Structure 1
């Protein structure tokens, strides 16, 4: 390799290394995460309920289901639930087969009829009387209750409280660390919300139609929901 070639290579290396060497050092900083939580009582109940019917023909199963579902919807309206809070969440017509007695049997499954499943999702703000609504639906003909959950109407407002608490928690930790290290907390350089949401009671259950004329209303326990927020904050440090 000639002296001229070596000189060119050294010059090129110096050119590429120059900008990296000229970068200023990053200012001292501290990164701390904070969490905030607010416990609130739910004021909205959400339930998925409906009617499942079987018959030898699809037409007969569908007609029987329509008749029963009409009564269930009437009971829901009579309980004071508005039409905007009721919506169909599932409608299906499926064949029903009788399986062979033995797995090794060569006999094919036998068609025995059809099953119609019609489900509606209901939102109720009368959460204290929600047990009465469940009873009314079952008495009217509902034989399928798939899920029951709770929600908070002013969730964003409550989440704001959790967010403020999360930032305050991050600041508390940061001030503790900088005091222990002999420095001072500077301005906020970045703030990122990593997660938010709620952990609440979700109580799925199944119900079957039964005589409940003399029975008390179905008890419903809504509990509390914990609305949470988590943030990551980066502060500059001062000597």
Structure 2
């Protein structure tokens, strides 16, 4: 049997969201090459990185909006245990590219791959004014919580008192769609990188006193 050990008032959870057209895309690319010697691996990867940088500059992406890692080298094997065989030396460099030219995104990715970025790990759409959108989502979460509290208080026939507790809640802990995800639309009709809309979430736990 459920029991309220420390009754004090009314606690409700509210969630809110704001959807907006994306203004920026984040693309994670990798130059990932295998060669028989460390020297050849470094040379081939270095040349691919130079070509990739050239393509990004041609698309108007400044160096400040490209974050990357140094070339990393490691031995590469095939199989496990006694069956393991040496394949060569793998050289890898990871890059995250931010671009606002969403109408040319598919062309940018295509030319980046042709230049030597032989791995596309992720294409993620986002908004630049997320703090403003997050604040609006929080306001909507508070409004939703208050509406819910008013319904409970009315149903119980008691006046709703003042807010006595406010707790921010991670919206992802509620199982809602995280920000930056694609909402709605048909991927086959819109194209490979059709952005849809960006959804910014917020949630709050409010505690209300009950008037006597």
Shift of 1:223: 1.7
Q: Deviations over 1:50-69 (max 9, x none)?
A: 32222221011111111121
Tell me the equivalent position of 2:168.
193
Tell me the equivalent position of 1:167.
142
2-side partners of 1:146 and 1:192: how far apart? 36
Q: Deviations over 1:119-174 (max 9, x none)?
A: 21111111222111112212222211112112221111111111111111111111
Matched, 1:157 2:132: yes
**Any unmatched runs of 5+ in structure 1?**
1-25, 203-217
Shift of 1:230: 1.2
Tell me the equivalent position of 2:39.
59
Matched, 1:231 2:211: no
The change in CA–CA distance for 1:139 and 1:189 in structure 2 (over 3 A counts) is same
The change in CA–CA distance for 1:70 and 1:235 in structure 2 (over 3 A counts) is same
Count of residues in correspondence between the two structures:
194
**Corresponding residue SS for 1:47:** strand
**Any unmatched runs of 5+ in structure 2?**
1-5, 173-177, 183-190
The change in CA–CA distance for 1:30 and 1:111 in structure 2 (over 3 A counts) is closer
The change in CA–CA distance for 1:171 and 1:97 in structure 2 (over 3 A counts) is closer
1-side partners of 2:25 and 2:56: how far apart? 14
- Write out aligned runs for 1:1-239 (5 A): 29-89=9-69, 91-97=71-77, 99=79, 109-196=84-171, 198-201=178-181, 219-239=192-212
Coordinate RMSD, CA, aligned: 2.4
**Corresponding residue SS for 1:136:** helix
* Superposition TM-score, scaled by structure 1 size: 0.73
Q: Deviations over 1:79-124 (max 9, x none)?
A: 1001101121463212233559xx7xx6x64434212112211111
Matched-pair contact (CA < 8 Å) for 2:166–2:207: yes
1-side partners of 2:105 and 2:132: how far apart? 25
1-side partners of 2:38 and 2:7: how far apart? 73
Matched-pair contact (CA < 8 Å) for 1:76–1:133: yes
